[in-house]
């Protein structure tokens, strides 16, 4: 009896492009690929063998010269070699990136159902992205992600890192009501909590509901009044559900954001410029200059980078000089400005820390590099762009 793989070669080697003229271009291309694989010493996998059988069954009537041979071969399929075995890798671990940040790493041998399961939670998980080779994913190491990913992959028998398993069991053991009641702001009487709030806002600061909701993420407490999206920009920022917030630059100006941050006592401020486009940087500097002046924040401003001495660069650098945006970084600095991916070294040794971060019209947002890592210390990162980044889901105003 002729083997299925030898029959495939016989069909494709028939003169005058017989098979190509009889079946669809897509099926013919797949058969050519399979023929190339069966000719190699490593042979084909069982899944590829099943695909070959499926295509021959679907096309046996069209391949009329070989109809009888196909029916005979498929009645009890045999192969000239053993199928190539592919090691099935399914691992869920915690890894460290180049910036020593921990993340969840999902590694698996390709499986359409696993990919479908990961795509299904893509809108819920934080920072879940596929790597370029498509064989693994990674996500931020958060309680929410641990539960989502472990439960989504449970049917596929993944090997779980012991740390992830322990984290998952601890998280699932929590009682949400008990946890929330313990951290209601009205139930927290620890002296360090009171000291931290006082040091942040001052004793005489009038605290409204927006400020209470805004600081809940920073100090990890719950409020008796449920959060809602808000009717204006200040409420929208204060009631955010995560640290990163997208604001549509067509709907709200930079001045609007500054005024909201002042209302929420969210200074000092770090502003991040895109690093690759000089014209864009100059335009943003002009917008920033006007917004700082109108909001009364144009003193104690430090812009800690310069552009090359091109025509655009000279205008950029001269405006900084004229407006005296060269305040040294210290505890009196109100606004600090850097380029994306290029945080100056002196920031790392300085006690100054931002209460808010604004990324100005960056295509990828603050996702990678030293500026991103530095900004993660802040519980409010605003991306002021035309559209939210495709790499992470955000609240949209």
| The 3-state secondary structure of the chain, one letter per residue | CCCHHHHHHHHHCCCCCHHHHHCCHHHHHHHHHHHHHHCCCCCCCHHHHHHHHHHHHHHCCCCHHHHHHHHHHHHCCCCCCCCCCCCCCEEEEEEECCCCCEEEEEEECCCHHHHHHHHHCCCCCCCCEECCCCCEEEEECCHHHHHHHHHHHHHHCCEECHHHHHHHHHHHHCCHHHHHHHCEHHHCCCHHHHHHHHHHHCCCCCCCHHHHHHHHHHHCCECCCCCCCCCCHHHHHHCCCCCEEEEECCCCCHHHHHHHHHHCCCCCEEEEECCCCHHHHHHHHHHHHHHHHHHCCCCCEEECCCCCCCHHHHHHHHHHHHCCCECCCCCCCCEEEEECCECCCHHHHCCCCCCEEEEECCCCCCCCHHHHHHHCCCCCEEEEECCCCCCCCCCCC
Whether the full predicted model's pTM is greater than 0.75, yes or no, is no
**201 preceded by cis ω (within 30°)?**
no
Q: What is the pLDDT, as a whole number, of residue 393?
A: 43
Q: How would residue 390 be classed by pLDDT, with cut points 50, 70 and 90?
A: low
Q: Measuring CA to CA, how many Å separate 60 from each of 11, 68, 74, 198?
A: 11, 9, 10, 80
| 151 closest CA partner among 130, 174, 125, 126 | 125
Q: How would residue 367 be classed by pLDDT, with cut points 50, 70 and 90?
A: low
Q: What is the pLDDT, as a whole number, of residue 227?
A: 62
Least confident of 111-120, 215-224, 360-369: 360-369
Q: How far apart are CA 28 and CA 24, in angstroms?
A: 6
Overall average pLDDT of the 150-162 stretch: 94
Q: How far apart are CA 164 and CA 189, in angstroms?
A: 33
CATH 2.40.50 fits 90-169, yes or no: no
Q: What is the pLDDT, as a whole number, of residue 231?
A: 77
Q: What is the pLDDT, as a whole number, of residue 394?
A: 39
Q: What is the pLDDT, as a whole number, of residue 397?
A: 41
Q: How would residue 338 be classed by pLDDT, with cut points 50, 70 and 90?
A: very high
Q: What is the pLDDT, as a whole number, of residue 305?
A: 94
Q: 21-59: buried (b, 16+ CB within 10 Å) or exposed (e) per residue?
A: ebbeeebbebbeebbebbeeeebbeeebbebbeebbeeb
Q: How would residue 126 be classed by pLDDT, with cut points 50, 70 and 90?
A: confident
Residues 229-257 pLDDT 10s: 667 999 999 998 888 899 999 999 999 99
The segment with the largest mean pLDDT, out of 108-122, 125-139, 180-194, 296-310, is 296-310
Q: How would residue 132 be classed by pLDDT, with cut points 50, 70 and 90?
A: low
Q: How far apart are CA 217 and CA 211, in angstroms?
A: 11
**Rounded to the nearest 5°, which phi and psi values hold at 235?**
-65, -35
Residues 252-293 pLDDT 10s: 999 999 999 999 999 999 999 987 789 999 999 999 999 999
More confidently predicted of 279 and 84:
279
Q: How far apart are CA 334 and CA 163, in angstroms?
A: 41
Q: How far apart are CA 362 and CA 312, in angstroms?
A: 19
Whether 318 has a pLDDT exceeding 80, the answer reads yes
Whether 183 has a pLDDT exceeding 90, the answer reads no
The chain-wide mean pLDDT, for the chain, equals: 87
Q: How far apart are CA 31 and CA 305, in angstroms?
A: 58
CATH 3.40.50 fits 242-385, yes or no: yes
Chain-centroid distance, C-alpha 246: 14
Whether 389 has a pLDDT exceeding 80, the answer reads no
């Amino acid at each position: 009896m002729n083997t299925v793989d030898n029959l495939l070669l016989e069909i494709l080697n028939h003169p005058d492009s017989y098979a190509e003229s009889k079946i669809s271009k897509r099926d013919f291309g797949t058969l050519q690929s399979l023929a190339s694989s069966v000719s190699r010493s490593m042979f084909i996998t069982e899944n590829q063998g099943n695909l070959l059988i499926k295509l021959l069954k679907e096309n046996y009537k069209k391949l009329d010269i070989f109809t009888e041979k196909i029916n005979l071969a498929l009645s009890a399929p045999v192969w000239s070699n053993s199928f190539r075995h592919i090691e099935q890798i399914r691992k869920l671990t915690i890894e460290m990136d180049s910036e020593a940040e921990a993340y969840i790493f999902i590694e698996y041998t390709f499986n359409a159902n696993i990919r479908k399961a990961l795509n299904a939670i893509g809108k819920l998980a934080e920072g879940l992205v596929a790597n370029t080779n498509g064989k693994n994913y990674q996500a931020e190491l958060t309680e929410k992600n641990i539960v989502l990913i472990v439960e989504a992959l449970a049917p596929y028998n993944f090997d779980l890192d012991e740390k992830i398993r322990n984290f998952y069991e601890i998280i699932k053991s929590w009682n949400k009501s008990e946890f929330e009641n313990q951290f209601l702001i009205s139930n927290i009487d620890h002296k360090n909590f009171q000291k931290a709030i006082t040091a942040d806002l001052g004793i005489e600061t009038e605290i409204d509901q927006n400020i209470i909701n805004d600081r809940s993420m920073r100090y990890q407490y719950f409020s008796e009044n449920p959060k809602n999206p808000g009717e204006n920009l200040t409420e929208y920022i204060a009631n955010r559900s995560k640290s990163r917030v997208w604001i549509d630059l067509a709907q709200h100006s930079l001045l609007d954001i500054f005024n909201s941050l002042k209302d929420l006592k969210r200074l000092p401020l770090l502003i991040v410029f895109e690093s690759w486009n000089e014209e864009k940087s100059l335009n943003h500097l002009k917008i920033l200059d006007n917004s700082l002046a109108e909001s009364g924040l144009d003193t104690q401003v430090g812009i800690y980078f310069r552009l090359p001495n091109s025509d655009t660069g000279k205008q950029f650098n001269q405006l900084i000089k004229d407006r005296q945006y060269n305040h040294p970084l210290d505890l009196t600095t109100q606004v600090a400005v850097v380029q994306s991916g290029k945080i100056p070294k002196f920031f790392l040794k300085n006690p100054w820390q931002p209460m808010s971060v604004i990324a100005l019209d960056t295509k990828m947002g603050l996702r990678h590099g030293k500026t991103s890592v530095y900004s993660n210390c802040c519980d409010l990162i605003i991306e002021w762009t035309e559209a939210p980044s495709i790499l992470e889901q955000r609240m949209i105003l």
